[in-house]
């Protein structure tokens, strides 16, 4: 009973060590974010598998979106796969990073591999996002509508 309470307490704190057997273990991090509109996102990161799964729910608890992220060695997303509430694939995103680990580009692809959109980030000398340029699937720049980073 004490072990179960400890495990639940660790999950509530956002970090848990899940026993895998054979002396192996996977660090599991769980986090819930409640958004201003009443929706919430539950995120579970598996450090050993380098994956992060996020599920967003509406205020009544109905699933809105599921996301599976593949992570790099620094546990930063390199790919994200988006699914509707039934698990049907919607699209995927690929992240490019600079030598400081900052996202420099995000490209969204359809389920058939067609480019849907590309976002290109620029930074100032202290690493603050200065601008984001958006391009459609054909490479044409989409006029800015005061997008905030």
Same domain, 103 and 133: yes
Q: Are 118 and 149 in a shared domain?
A: yes
- Can you name the residues that pair with 79 across neighbouring β-strands? 70, 94
Same domain, 2 and 63: yes
End-to-end Cα distance, the chain = 46
Asked if residue 102 and residue 43 are part of one domain, the reply reads no
Does residue 5 sit in the same domain as residue 62?
A: yes
Distance CA 68, CA 109 (A): 15
20 or 88: which leads in pLDDT: 88
Do 97 and 148 lie in one domain? The reply is yes
Query: pLDDT digit string (tens) for 4-61?
Result: 333 333 333 344 444 444 545 569 999 999 999 999 999 999 999 999 999 999 999 9
Question: Within this chain, do residues 60 and 102 fall inside the same structural domain, yes or no?
Answer: no
User: 135 near 117, Cβ under 8 Å?
Assistant: yes
The reply to whether 60 and 95 lie within a common domain is no
96 and 138 share one domain = yes
Q: Are residues 92 and 57 in the same domain?
A: no
pTM value is 0.77
Which residues form the domain of 123?
88-149
């Amino acid at each position: 009973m004490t072990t179960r309470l400890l495990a639940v307490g660790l999950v509530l704190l956002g970090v848990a060590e899940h026993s895998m057997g054979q002396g192996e273990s996977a660090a599991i991090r769980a986090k819930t974010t409640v958004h201003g509109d009443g929706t919430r996102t539950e995120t579970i990161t598996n450090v050993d598998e380098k994956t992060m799964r996020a599920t967003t729910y509406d205020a009544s608890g109905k699933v809105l979106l599921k996301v599976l992220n593949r992570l790099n060695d620094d546990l930063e997303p390199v790919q994200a796969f988006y699914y509707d509430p039934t698990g049907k694939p919607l699209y995927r995103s690929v992240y490019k990073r600079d030598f400081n680990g900052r996202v420099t580009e995000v490209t969204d692809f359809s389920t058939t591999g067609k480019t849907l959109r590309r976002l290109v980030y620029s930074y100032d000398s202290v690493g603050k996002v200065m601008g984001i340029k958006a391009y459609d699937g054909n490479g044409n720049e989409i006029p800015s509508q005061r997008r905030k980073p």
